[in-house]
Chains A and B, each alone.
Chain A
Amino acid sequence: MFTAIFGSFEAGIIYAIMALGVYLSFRILDFPDLTVDGSFVTGAALSAVLIAGGMNPFLATILALFAGFAAGCMTGLLHTFGKINNLLSGILMMIALYSINLRIMGRSNIPLLNTETSFTKIGEFFDSLGIDSFFNSLLTMVGLGDSLPGTWGILIFMIIVTFVIKWLTDLFLQTEIGLAVRATGNNKQMIRSFSANTNLLTILGLGLSNALVAFSGALIAQQGGFADVGMGIGMIVIGLASVIIGEALFGTKSIARATLAVIGGSIIYRIVVTLALRVEFLDPGDMKVITALIVIIALTAPKLIEHSKEKKRKAKRRQEKMNRLQASAERKGENHAALKSDS
């Protein structure tokens, strides 16, 4: 059990980078970008091919980031200069990327087992530090010693990487260009009247968004030990689930808060899925329908709750009004009676 939760925590923090990318397009730019399903695989495919070919895994992961940026820019070009509807430009790019990803890989699946990846390197580095045995002995002390994770290195490394990316994203969104990107998603007419090129800003925003998605894909491929051409199916919905769950649970007061919420949402999503799959009659193939259900609930529940609250408030106010009216009517009646008895 602990290992399963530990695993979903680790996956959650890697997928959080993808969710941050989805947050950039979906929330900041107000652009539901389906490119994600393709660019996630592009990142995985490119890094897997390069790593299998003997390239330094860290360098390969960085190159995956640039590939994602290019894919996002293409979607942006289709939407801004091609004047194609935003959903459709994303879908077109997603389909195109499917073939491109196959071309990059040369076949539909590349295994990375027994290959040196970013994570094996990190694992070795941590082994040499002896931190793993320290954490594991801690766990044994609190009575969780029967199922110990192989290495803490990946988790600690990924927490650092994800939070550096979160911090950079926060900083970027506060710069002059970042503010203009946010305004592009918020009020295009307004920011154009302040001499901002909304087309370029949309392209830049989508590029950055998909760069993060591809980066996350590259890391997931190395963590899972393979890249597969179908691994991106439904990725946009997982990203949305993370964003929406995070926002609902942790709030969106400021940009820094919202990005933190997205990371939290991604981890919680993974844990929920892990727990759901432990239910007897569910199998891994049901994951997509579980994801869809989570998103549907997260989207509809707040509205339903708000609606019923509003109804109750209205009923209460009406009741109070009626009571007041009745009270004043009774008072009048008494006065009337008093007058009558006088005469």
Chain B
Amino acid sequence: MLHLNQIHKIFNEGTPDEKIAIDHINLTLKPGDFVTVIGSNGAGKSTLMNIISGVLVPDVGEIHIDGKNVTAMSEFKRSKMIGRVFQDPMAGTAPSMTIEENLAMAYSRNKTRTFRRGVTKKRRDYFREVLESLHLGLENRLSAKVGLLSGGERQALSLLMATFTEPAILLLDEHTAALDPSRAELITNLTREIVAKYQLTTLMVTHNMQQAIDLGNRLIMMDKGQIILEVDAQNKIDLTIEGLLEEFKRIRGVQMASDRAVLS
């Protein structure tokens, strides 16, 4: 479904700040795979997401989605196939527009936008139906402006908007990190439900090791732009935080640097 071949990316090349962000990474996701990505700050997790979604162009390497080479495809074209949820709950929705208008924009993702009405009666019924799956009562607030929703509600809506058109790939970039623990758990559970419901091929970056262990069928650990550990479905079942930290120490010879990762 998703295939990364020898992806390489350097920031600030030729300056004293030169940094290898992604170091010849290969990664393949089969249809229905749910891969969680962990790693310390600056490991290249977000850069990897941005390269897959087309925000950044790799210096070397190829990206294939659904068998198509999309390396040179622009971000907006590629996003027909990619659903994204960002860390910032404000980033995934348009605050001064209503819930139903936001959903209508998401609904047009894989279609050509025309001069037809964005929110029709038929669509409104459909939106109400999909909103019910969030169990937040948003189905009764279709014409409320999204800016009035709480961070958790907005993130739940973003998640729904990113997924209900069933994109080929779903990218989740620390989408629970900015929420308080109870909200984060709500979004985590919704993520599990929705990914299972639509059988989405998913790549999720997280700082929360427990979350990375609980969700998904595969796990990768990144450090300094490389994938240093891959855990397959079989081994992921008995994985623990201690086990992961030990693995890191064994591979790198140092303690994992991010206290944020350990504590959360």
| A→B interface (CB under 8 Å) | 172, 174-180, 182-183, 186-187, 189-198
Q: Is the CB–CB distance between B105 and A191 below 8 Å?
A: yes
Q: Is the CB–CB distance between A197 and B105 below 8 Å?
A: no
Binary CB contact string for chain B from 98 to 125 against chain A (1 if under 8 A, 0 otherwise): 0001001110111001111111000000
| B→A interface (CB under 8 Å) | 53, 75-77, 79-80, 82-84, 86, 90-97, 101, 104-106, 108-110, 113-119, 161-162
A selection of 15 A-B contacts at a CB cut-off of 8 Å is A175-B116, A175-B118, A177-B114, A179-B104, A180-B113, A186-B97, A187-B90, A187-B91, A194-B105, A194-B108, A195-B76, A195-B77, A195-B79, A195-B80, A196-B105
B106 to A, closest residue via Cβ: A194
Chain A residues near B82 (CB-CB < 8 A): 193
* A193-B83 Cα distance, complex, nearest whole Å: 7
Q: Is the CB–CB distance between A193 and B53 below 8 Å?
A: yes
* A179-B47 Cα distance, complex, nearest whole Å: 30
Residue B76 contacts which of A179, A183, A187, A197 (CB distance < 8 angstroms)? A197
User: Which of A172, A179, A197 is packed against the most chain B CB atoms within 10 Å?
Assistant: A179
Chain A residues near B86 (CB-CB < 8 A): 189
* A193-B165 Cα distance, complex, nearest whole Å: 13
* A186-B96 Cα distance, complex, nearest whole Å: 7
Main secondary structure of the interface of A (DSSP, over half): helix
Q: Is the CB–CB distance between A190 and B92 below 8 Å?
A: yes
Q: Is the CB–CB distance between A179 and B97 below 8 Å?
A: yes
Q: Is the CB–CB distance between B95 and A186 below 8 Å?
A: yes
Q: Is the CB–CB distance between A187 and B94 below 8 Å?
A: yes
Q: Is the CB–CB distance between A182 and B94 below 8 Å?
A: yes
* A179-B116 Cα distance, complex, nearest whole Å: 11
Shortest distance from the beta carbon of A43 to any chain B beta carbon, whole Å? 24
* A194-B116 Cα distance, complex, nearest whole Å: 18
* A253-B105 Cα distance, complex, nearest whole Å: 20
Q: Is the CB–CB distance between A187 and B117 below 8 Å?
A: no
Q: Is the CB–CB distance between B94 and A176 below 8 Å?
A: no
Shortest distance from the beta carbon of B52 to any chain A beta carbon, whole Å? 12
Sample of 11 further A-B pairs with CB below 8 A, known A175-B117, A176-B118, A190-B91: A179-B97, A182-B97, A186-B94, A187-B93, A187-B95, A194-B79, A194-B105, A194-B161, A195-B108, A196-B105, A198-B76
A177 to B, closest residue via Cβ: B113
Q: Is the CB–CB distance between B79 and A179 below 8 Å?
A: no
Chain B residues near A194 (CB-CB < 8 A): 79, 105-106, 108-109, 161
Residues A174 and B117 in contact in the complex (CB < 8 Å), given A195-B110, A198-B76 = yes
B90 to A, closest residue via Cβ: A187
B113 to A, closest residue via Cβ: A176
Q: Is the CB–CB distance between B108 and A180 below 8 Å?
A: yes
Chain A residues near B108 (CB-CB < 8 A): 176, 179-180, 194-196
Q: Is the CB–CB distance between B94 and A190 below 8 Å?
A: yes
Task: Please list the 9 inter-chain residue pairs (A to B) with the smallest Cβ-Cβ separation, ordered nearest first.
Answer: A176-B113, A186-B94, A179-B118, A195-B79, A195-B80, A183-B94, A187-B94, A193-B84, A194-B109
* A186-B161 Cα distance, complex, nearest whole Å: 17
* A304-B167 Cα distance, complex, nearest whole Å: 48
Chain B residues near A196 (CB-CB < 8 A): 76, 105, 108, 113
* A189-B75 Cα distance, complex, nearest whole Å: 10
Chain A residues near B76 (CB-CB < 8 A): 192, 195-198
Chain A residues near B115 (CB-CB < 8 A): 172, 175-178
* A187-B91 Cα distance, complex, nearest whole Å: 7
Residue A189 contacts which of B91, B97, B117 (CB distance < 8 angstroms)? B91
